[in-house]
Chains A and B, each alone.
Chain A
Amino acid sequence: MDLPDALNQWFDTRGWVPHPHQRAMVAQARAPALLLIAPTGGGKTLAGFLPTLAELLAQPHSGLHTLYISPLKALAADIKRNLRRPIEDLGLQIRIEDRTGDTPQSRRKAQRKDPPHILLTTPESLALLISYEDAPRIFAGLRRVVIDEIHALAESKRGDQLMLALSHVQRLAPNMRRVGLSATVDDPAAIGAYLAPHPDRCKILEADPGPTPDIAMLEVAQEPPWAGGGGRYAIQSVLKEIERHRTTLIFHNTRAQAELFFHDLWLANQNDLPIGIHHGALSKDARHRVETAMVNGELRAVVCTGSLDLGIDWGDVDLVLQIGAPKNVKRLVQRIGRANHNYNTPSKARLVPANRFEILECHAALEAVHENTLDGEPRGPGPRDVLCQHILLLACAGPIVPDDLYAQVKRCGAYRDLTRAAFEACLEFIATGGYALRAYDRWQRLKKRPDGAWVLRDPRTAQRIRMNIGTILSAETLKVKWRGRGGAALGEIEEAFAATLTPGDTFLMAGHVVRYERLNEMTIEVSRNTHKTPKIAGYYGHKFSTSFQLSERILDIMAREDWSTLPSSIVDWLTVQKQVSQLPRPGRLLVESFPRETREHLVVYGFAGINAQQTLGLLLTQRMEAANLGPMGFVANDYATLIWGLDPVEDAALLFDRQGIQQSLETWLDGNQVMKRTFRGAALIAGLIERNIPGLRKSGRQATFSSDILFDTLRRYDPDHLMLQITREEAMRGLVDFGRIAKMLDRIDGQIDTIRLSSVTPLAAPLFLEPGRIPVKGLGEQRLLAEEASRLMQEAGLAPIT
């Protein structure tokens, strides 16, 4: 198919020329699965919709024609606005509507009764849609599904849920064609295999990537500090850059760092440049205000986090600053693309390392961008907690025939290797709980009919099940608003952080220093206060690990003879390290052991990313405890783990045998907080526990109990239960990230260099300044608690414990 004349004329009247890849999309419109890879600003979304417009121009259609899925609610609303233009200009009778969590109930009902031609939605809303009995009617005439930002979805459980839902929709609409729109990725074929029904092939279109980005380190007069994050040493240089450019986006890796940076930036902002802040914990209103101001060109800079990674062009951005090491080349490239307002001019980006080690990481990232090698880490098989939720949702829509469902699930690339037994375990879990003790004969969730199909025991529970949909996990949060009647909402903070606040404490929120006044019905009321040093709100959320590729590149840079591209301070640092000890080398593991003050120290340079280095700290201290070496605590960053304790480790190799580490992991499953958090996530997704729905929360919270209790109970009475299996599977990635440790052990293959030294080395020194020191649990914590209790009693003037 060619671009229809009407559309050609429409491009003409706007003075536009369609990009070659936009034409190609129309030409390839018949492909059952088609993936477009194009940089930001390349008219990707329009390219995805052109075939729909062409088809609807050629032939009217009744009912749903195209389903558009995006990871962001805001994107759906925005695209509705943008698509209206060609539709209205061409006088097409096309109904286009969005359906997200924000869509009113009445509107959603009407959409089910009479679906629009184009429905814009999110993975969660689609999952909800297929859980209704009338799903077959809604999707019967569907021709196309367009998945925007598919590279972002492909990395998450949201994407797994989406592909499971689509394989169900495909059954309802066998002629549905799939289109994926992606930013630049390392392995297009992998995204293709993810998009197409397994084992079908996916057609891949790659657009011209545009000019090479102009990317470098930001010149800052001052050296970055030895440790820590946030990049506040560079505030003055950043302000200068803001003044030199039209609009600057300043990316941070965490919300807390964004708040801190914004606060200091504002204090240093002598010329009163209009600068805003944008992150996921701010209120919707606050975010909208910033977005609108940006689109209108009213802001000179926005301090932001991943909340602006995706989405439409937020105004006239001509500079992107990345504060702190980018951790991941792929994400860096996408962030750079934010400064790509004009397709044909190079994006401009500058990196600001937050500490000395990050200088190395930034250099490694620059090399990777110049060589155009992105880091891809295969995600592994589809997670079964998501499958459990999928089964439960389908049961809401109608009877489940296990043979059919199994075949359908295996059509998803991520689940292609799912065994029948692993599938049955999920079905069994949903139906009966899957416990060794058969307890719920009377109250099974699903009942087996004589014909072998499974149905909900009590159809009234469907409503309750639908309320627990989704795979996005968030900590329980409390809303924050200004004190007084009708005080505006500022955003939210985590309950765990809120619990540490007492009236009078101050913290940073939306760029203000606010004073905690009182808690009023699950809302925190605050007032303005600029006098006290604020506490820092901690936020849940994935701590990104430095990717495998970047870690390898850093090792590679260290191993080089030629360091001429590095700043001289770094060269000095590495040179001294080489003289007094060794530099970490690819294929080997460097371990340093030395006394400092009254303690023995052990530094393990695993370069496995912060999550895995932290897990390594937990595992090694446990092994050291067993070997009577008296470990007292540890701290980790993306490159190394520092352990302190009573006795020196003479030969670290003894701590690293593969089997021993694996066993430690098993024992460690017992009582670890990270593991419990992992369990909680899986339990929420699989439906073992229900979400706290805002507004339905009881005032007395004693009715709900923590998932930790369930974890402990299962460990004790049913150690092989599916939920614990899933927890162990999850432990290979995410917060525990044992997979990276395994990969590191494979890579070094027993080549461990233990260097015994008399004092701290240059490479180890920054670790002593690293925050987040973790005391070894057990006796240590018990002693701390006793000390804290007697301190509190004394402070309160109460009798000390005798």
Chain B
Amino acid sequence: MRSTSEGFAFEFGGERLTALPSGALWWHGRNLLAVSDLHLGKSDRMARLGGPLLPPYEIEDTLSRLDADIARSQARIIICLGDSFDDMASIEAMEISHQIWLARLQAGRQWIWIAGNHDPTPIELSGTHVETFYEPPLVFRHMATLGNKTSGEVSGHYHPKAQVTLQGRNLTRPCFLYDTQRLILPAFGTYTGGLRTQSAPLQALMSQDARAILTGTPMVTIPMPGTA
């Protein structure tokens, strides 16, 4: 394993993968970039429901960061691991300029939309729409499956974040979680919160020797906080 400014390389399912500081996953062997939980259109949805009017810049910010990762990696396959849109209406509400931006990112690449709980039905945008995407030896889906039958499973949904105490101060960052069976990606979207690794669902999914890779700079790996 090594840590570079380009990201954090590690081994999972017998493959060499790189966790990027942005929260994207890079699989060099397949020229594949995976991101999870973009939640595009969150601010629009909040406003529609009569909630606060959040700064309407979240699509722009999320797309810029995705754009940068794609440009740097020159990925041929892009997988969005579900909850790419905050809800189905957010897709329709997307501005023309953002639609064009997305189309430009998609051009010349294989683009996989995996269904999430926020955007479950096949969506209007171009690309492949699936529940599960197989790229042996790895398998990509939105939510991790419980139990010990799975292997090489890459998923999102939980928005994991880890907390480290540094000389009395708490530092919290979105993180990747992995053990021998599964890998859970942090949320990539700008307007996304996190679920602490100590929480029950994440503890139930991950084994005792699970590790967390913190996003940001520097990228480091620690034992998954909460595992005894």
Chain A interfacial positions (CB closer than 8 Å to B): 432-433, 435, 437, 439-440, 442-445, 457-458, 460-461, 464, 496, 499-500, 519, 687-690, 700-706, 709-710, 713-714, 716-718, 721, 775, 781-782, 784-786, 788-790, 792-793, 796, 798-799, 801-802
Contacts and interface: CB of A to CB of B under 8 A. Distances in A.
Nearest to A775: B167
Given A443-B47, A775-B167, A784-B167, A702 B187 contact: yes
B111 interface: no
A702 B55 contact: no
Contact of A705 (B158, B165, B193, B218): B193
Contact of A701 (B53, B164, B193, B221): B193
A727 to B, nearest CB: 13
A519 B196 CA distance: 13
A500 B55 contact: no
A785 B164 contact: yes
Given A702-B194, A705-B191, A705-B192, A710 B54 contact: yes
Interface in B15-48: 43-44, 47-48
Nearest to B56: A439
A676 to B, nearest CB: 13
The listed residue with most A CB atoms (<10 A of its CB), out of B165, B166, B214, is B166
B57 to A, nearest CB: 4
B9 to A, nearest CB: 11
B176 to A, nearest CB: 14
In the A-B complex, list the 5 residue pairs whose CB atoms are closest, starting with the nearest: A433-B53, A439-B56, A461-B50, A705-B193, A789-B220
A802 B2 contact: yes
B89 to A, nearest CB: 11
Contacts of B50: 445, 457-458, 460-461, 464
Contacts of B57: 437, 713, 716-718
B222 interface: yes
A500 B196 CA distance: 12
Nearest to B83: A702
Contact of A792 (B3, B43, B60, B222): B222
24 contacts: A435-B55, A439-B56, A440-B47, A442-B48, A445-B53, A457-B50, A500-B170, A519-B198, A687-B52, A713-B57, A721-B55, A785-B166, A785-B171, A785-B218, A789-B221, A792-B222, A792-B223, A793-B221, A793-B222, A796-B223, A798-B211, A798-B223, A799-B1, A802-B1
Contacts of B166: 781, 784-785, 788
A721 B57 CA distance: 13
Contact of B193 (A703, A793, A798): A703
Given A702-B192, A713-B61, A801-B1, 7 more contacts: A437-B57, A688-B54, A690-B51, A700-B201, A704-B193, A717-B55, A717-B61
A458 B221 CA distance: 47
Nearest to A710: B55
A689 B223 CA distance: 33
B174 to A, nearest CB: 10
Contacts, number: 133
A782 B218 contact: yes
A706 B51 contact: no
B105 interface: no
B163 A499 contact: yes
B167 to A, nearest CB: 7
Contacts of A432: 53
A775 B168 CA distance: 11
B95 to A, nearest CB: 8
Contacts of B218: 782, 785-786
Interface string B151-169: 0000000110001111100
B220 A801 contact: yes
A157 B135 CA distance: 58
Nearest to B46: A443
B53 A443 contact: yes
Interface in B164-213: 164-167, 170-171, 187, 190-196, 198-199, 201, 209, 211
Contacts of A440: 44, 47, 53, 56
A792 to B, nearest CB: 5
A499 B162 CA distance: 10
A798 B187 CA distance: 26
A687 B54 CA distance: 10
Given A690-B52, A702-B159, A789-B222, A782 B217 contact: yes
A713 B1 contact: no
B69 interface: no
Contacts of A706: 193
Contacts of B119: none
B58 interface: yes
A435 B56 contact: yes
A702 B195 contact: yes
B195 to A, nearest CB: 4
The listed residue with most A CB atoms (<10 A of its CB), out of B54, B191, B214, is B54
A793 B58 contact: no
B52 A788 contact: no
Nearest to B165: A500
Nearest to A772: B168
Contacts of A789: 164, 214, 220-222
B55 A713 contact: yes
A801 B221 CA distance: 8
Contacts of A437: 56-57
B110 to A, nearest CB: 28
Contacts of B191: 705, 709
Nearest to B194: A702
Contacts of A499: 163, 170, 196, 198
A443 B158 CA distance: 29
B60 A717 contact: yes
Nearest to A789: B220
Contact of B55 (A461, A496, A718, A785): A718
Contacts of B48: 442-443
A781 B170 CA distance: 12
A500 B167 CA distance: 11
A702 B175 CA distance: 13
A406 to B, nearest CB: 22
Contacts of A688: 52-54
A801 B3 contact: yes
The listed residue with most A CB atoms (<10 A of its CB), out of B52, B163, B164, B218, is B52
Nearest to B189: A705
Given A443-B47, A690-B51, A702-B193, A496 B170 contact: yes
A714 B55 contact: yes
A705 B195 CA distance: 10
A701 B201 CA distance: 11
Interface in B107-160: 158-159
A713 B58 contact: yes
A443 B44 contact: yes
Contacts of A786: 218, 220
Contacts of A690: 51-52
A786 B222 CA distance: 10
Contacts of A784: 166-167
Contacts of A703: 193
A301 B53 CA distance: 50
Contacts of A790: 220
A461 B60 CA distance: 28
A467 to B, nearest CB: 11
Contacts of B165: 500
B221 to A, nearest CB: 7
A713 B163 CA distance: 23
B158 A702 contact: yes
A529 B15 CA distance: 48
A690 B211 CA distance: 33
The listed residue with most B CB atoms (<10 A of its CB), out of A702, A714, A785, is A702
A437 to B, nearest CB: 6
A452 to B, nearest CB: 21
A445 B48 CA distance: 9
Contacts of B223: 792-793, 796, 798
Contacts of A689: 52
Nearest to B167: A784
